[in-house]
């Protein structure tokens, strides 16, 4: 068995990544369809600090995009147009950069007292960024379709928690486990947001506070912050459980929004996905839950 498994919720199903990346999706006829969307490659990149984060995140995104596109086709019984998924993802990235990086910066720039104090500017900008992120998650959690995806997210976590406890994976057993998981991508996103506040505030001590610098730095530093955040998540996972829960408590709290209580049919889908992901040959990879 794989040492660690992870994955994500998709449309009417779950992506699980163990020795293989596999989706299990319930189709319109209520049948569970399983399909492999990728395999883990054996490489040294996944072991090098500050490189492994980008490597693992790349695979998380690659498998995640494939899984979302394919799950939509299975769940709705409609074939997506070629390139449609890629365009959607590119637009989503552009909107995310604009909403969570550019807009907070321009709003902070309207506060004249902060323009000459880059440390205070970066701090206030970061707090606005976190506020936008939390507001965004809360708003989408109210949408019916997103709520159903969040239920599958809860099913994924419950199944992984049950698997890591070593019990028999059946819905009645898995149902009692927590829908909160310390290795969740939600924790990573919160660490990313908080790290961006700290890093930009620190860099402000060494660079001239110009609008051009702020725009360029907010974009080119995203991979650096992503890598740093991953290493912090790995570091926190080695802490004693009580300390780890304190350190990542913002991300754990946010999971009460990004996961919802699943029903037994959704748990069944997550269990099927996990069992399929653990079959066959492959290399373990530390994908977030």
DSSP string, 21-40: EEEEEE-TTS-EEEEEEEE-
Please tell me the predicted confidence (pLDDT) of residue 12.
97
| Cα→Cα distances 194→136, 189, 198, 232, 280, Å | 16, 9, 7, 11, 39
Please tell me the predicted confidence (pLDDT) of residue 285.
46
Please report which helix (H) or strand (E) contains residue 137, including its range.
helix 118-141
Residue with tokens 């319930």: 26
Please tell me the predicted confidence (pLDDT) of residue 84.
67
DSSP string, 68-82: HHHHHHHHHT-PPPT
- 27-32 long-range Cβ contacts below 8 angstroms, 24+ apart: 27/74, 27/75, 27/77, 28/75, 28/76, 28/77, 32/268, 32/269, 32/272
Tokens of 52: 């492994």
The tens place of each residue's pLDDT in the chain, 289 residues long, gives 445 788 999 999 999 998 789 999 999 999 999 999 988 777 788 788 999 989 888 888 889 999 999 999 999 988 877 666 677 778 888 889 999 989 999 999 899 888 778 788 889 999 999 999 999 999 999 999 999 999 999 999 999 999 999 999 999 999 999 999 988 999 999 999 999 988 988 888 887 767 788 888 888 999 999 999 999 998 998 899 889 989 999 999 999 999 999 999 999 999 999 999 998 654 444 556 6
- Alpha-carbon distance of 6 to 160, in angstroms, equals 7
Please tell me the predicted confidence (pLDDT) of residue 286.
52
| Cα→Cα distances 17→33, 87, 189, 219, Å | 16, 25, 19, 30
DSSP string, 200-232: HHHHTTTS---HHHHHHHHHHTHHHHHHHHHHH
Residue with tokens 């070629």: 82
Give the predicted TM-score (pTM) of the model: 0.88
| Residue closest to 131 by CA, chosen among 95, 94, 96, 100 | 100
- Alpha-carbon distance of 262 to 152, in angstroms, equals 6
CA quadruple 163, 169, 172, 175: dihedral sign: positive
User: Would you say 229 and 53 are in contact if contact means Cβ atoms under 8 Å apart?
Assistant: yes
Please tell me the predicted confidence (pLDDT) of residue 132.
95
Report CA 147 to chain centroid distance, whole Å.
16
| Residue closest to 100 by CA, chosen among 136, 142, 64, 54 | 136
Please, what's the b/e burial string for 5-14 (b: 16 or more CB within 10 A of its CB; e: otherwise)?
A: bbbbbbbbbb
Tokens of 66: 């494939």
């Amino acid at each position: 068995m794989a040492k660690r498994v992870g994955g994500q919720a998709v449309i009417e199903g779950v992506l699980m990544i163990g020795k293989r990346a596999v989706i299990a999706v319930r189709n319109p006829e209520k049948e569970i369809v399983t399909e492999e969307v990728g395999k883990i490659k054996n490489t040294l990149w996944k072991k090098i600090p500050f490189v492994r984060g980008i490597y693992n995140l790349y695979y998380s995104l690659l498998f995640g995009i494939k899984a979302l596109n394919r799950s939509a086709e299975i769940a709705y019984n409609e074939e997506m147009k070629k390139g449609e998924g890629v365009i959607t993802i590119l637009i989503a990235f552009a909107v995310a950069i604009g909403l969570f990086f550019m807009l907070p910066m321009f709003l902070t720039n309207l506060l004249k007292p902060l323009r000459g104090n880059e440390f205070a500017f970066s701090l206030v900008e970061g707090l606005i960024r976190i506020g936008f992120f939390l507001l965004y998650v809360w708003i989408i959690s109210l949408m019916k379709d997103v709520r159903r995806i969040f239920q599958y997210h809860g099913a994924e976590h419950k199944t992984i928690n049950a698997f890591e406890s070593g019990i028999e994976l059946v819905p009645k057993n898995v149902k009692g486990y927590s829908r909160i998981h310390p290795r969740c991508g939600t924790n990573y996103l919160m660490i990313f947001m908080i790290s961006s506040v700290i890093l930009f505030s620190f860099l402000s001590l060494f660079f001239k506070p110009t609008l051009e610098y702020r725009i360029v730095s907010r974009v080119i530093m995203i991979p650096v912050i992503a890598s740093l955040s991953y290493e912090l998540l790995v570091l926190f996972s080695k802490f004693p459980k009580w300390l780890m829960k304190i350190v990542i408590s913002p991300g754990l709290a946010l999971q009460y929004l990004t996961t919802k209580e699943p029903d037994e049919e959704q748990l069944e889908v997550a269990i099927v996905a996990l069992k399929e992901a653990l079959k066959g040959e492959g290399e373990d990879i530390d994908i977030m839950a």
